């Protein structure tokens, strides 16, 4: 017994001695502007958010940017002024009843003025395609998937190579925004190169409107759930932005040979040559449809 007690004491001293506190003195990078400017043709107020980058280990809210002047101008010279709401860093353009932002086929320029600096970007408003239908079926538990209702939507890519889309799904009004739930399409497939122009979206894209459940016992949908699907048109640059963001968010340092995280390429430019703003500006056409599981 004495030997056992001695060994336990020895192990206790050993492991206690190994618990050294390590303070990481990390060099903080420069504070950069972050522009969240995803505008669409829905008949609701459009919002542009301005924030700044923050230290990686900071436990504070992301700092907001107030006092900017923001306008979006089309190729014909019509301007849309975005007004800040309550020093929140959120700048809003409110349409008149029945009014929509923008016209299909036109080019738009973003201009942000703040403290003598100017940030700019450009985007073209391309057409989207309608959500033709949303269907669902009940499935028994199989291959690790819990039993429940599984949904898919139907829609057809418009003719012509290079159309890109972002398919957003909502469950009971909540946007499915996990990194694995970023559902983008190049023509009717997941990426360029496939001969799927003008076809119905392929099955993996159609079924990607189901939520990713963390608990294997939780079904994607149950009776009474509301399912909403929206299809946004994207520019090729916006498609690449989302594609790279999804890769970094879903793989990160979990992958064995993953690349170190880096800023995703942006289309925001600063008048200061030494500044590297982040974020993206895009103007999208949008269609939507929703059903209730009955």
Q: What is the pLDDT of residues 79-91, one digit of tens each?
A: 999 999 999 999 9
CATH code reported for the domain at 33-124: 2.60.40
Tell me which residue of 48, 28, 101 sits closest to 268, measured CA to CA.
48
Q: How many residues are given for the chain?
A: 294
pLDDT in tens, 7-29: 443 344 344 445 555 555 555 66
Q: Where are the domains of the chain?
A: 33-124, 133-265+285-292
Residue for token pair 């599984």: 150
pLDDT of 93 > 70? The answer is yes
Pair 144, 253: CB distance under 8 Å: no
Q: Which region among 10-14, 128-132, 161-165, 231-235 has the lowest average model confidence (pLDDT)?
A: 10-14
- Residue-level pLDDT at 6: 40
DSSP-assigned beta bridge partners for residue 64: 51
Q: Whole-structure pTM over 0.75, yes or no? A: yes
- Residue-level pLDDT at 179: 93
Backbone angles phi, psi at 33, to 5 degrees: -70, 140
Tokens of 33: 């502007």
Task: Assign 258 a pLDDT band (cuts: 50, 70, 90).
Answer: low
- Residue-level pLDDT at 67: 97
Pairwise CA distance, residues 138 & 130, whole Å: 25
Beta strands in the chain (DSSP E): 33-40, 46-52, 69-74, 79-84, 90-93, 107-114, 117-124, 133-139, 148-154, 164-171, 174-175, 183-186, 226-234, 269-270, 278-284, 286-292
For residue 276, the SS3 value is coil
Task: Assign 217 a pLDDT band (cuts: 50, 70, 90).
Answer: confident
Pairwise CA distance, residues 260 & 127, whole Å: 36
CA 244 to chain CA mean position, Å:
11
Count of Cβ atoms closer than 10 Å to residue 150 Cβ? 17
Beta strands 278-284 and 33-40, pairing class: parallel
Beta strands in 179-273 (DSSP E): 183-186, 226-234, 269-270
């Amino acid at each position: 017994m004495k030997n056992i007690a001695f060994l336990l004491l020895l192990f206790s001293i050993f492991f206690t001695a190994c618990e050294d506190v390590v303070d990481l003195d990390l060099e903080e990078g420069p504070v950069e502007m972050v522009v969240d400017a995803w505008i669409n043709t829905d008949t609701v107020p459009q919002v542009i958010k301005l924030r700044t980058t923050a230290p990686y280990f900071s436990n504070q809210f992301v700092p907001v940017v107030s006092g900017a002047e923001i306008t979006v101008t089309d190729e014909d010279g019509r301007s849309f002024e975005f007004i800040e709401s309550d020093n929140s860093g959120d700048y809003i353009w409110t349409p008149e009843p029945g009014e929509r932002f923008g016209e299909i086929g036109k080019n738009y320029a973003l201009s942000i003025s703040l403290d003598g600096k100017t940030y700019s970007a450009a985007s073209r408003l391309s057409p989207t395609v309608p959500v033709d239908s949303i269907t669902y079926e009940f499935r028994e538990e199989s291959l690790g998937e819990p039993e429940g209702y599984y949904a898919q939507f139907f829609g057809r890519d418009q003719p012509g190579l290079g159309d890109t889309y972002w398919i957003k799904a909502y469950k009971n009004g909540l946007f499915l925004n996990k990194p694995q739930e970023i559902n983008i399409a190049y023509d009717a497939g997941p990426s360029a190169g496939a001969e799927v122009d003008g076809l119905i979206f392929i099955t993996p894209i159609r079924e990607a409107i189901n939520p990713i459940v963390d608990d294997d016992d939780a079904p994607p949908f149950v009776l009474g759930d509301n399912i909403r699907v929206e299809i946004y048109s994207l520019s090729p640059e916006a498609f690449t932005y989302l594609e790279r963001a999804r890769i970094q968010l879903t793989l990160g340092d979990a992958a064995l040979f993953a690349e170190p995280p880096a800023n995703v390429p942006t289309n925001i430019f600063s008048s200061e040559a030494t500044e590297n703003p982040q974020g993206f500006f895009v103007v999208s056409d949008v269609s939507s449809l929703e059903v209730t599981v009955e």
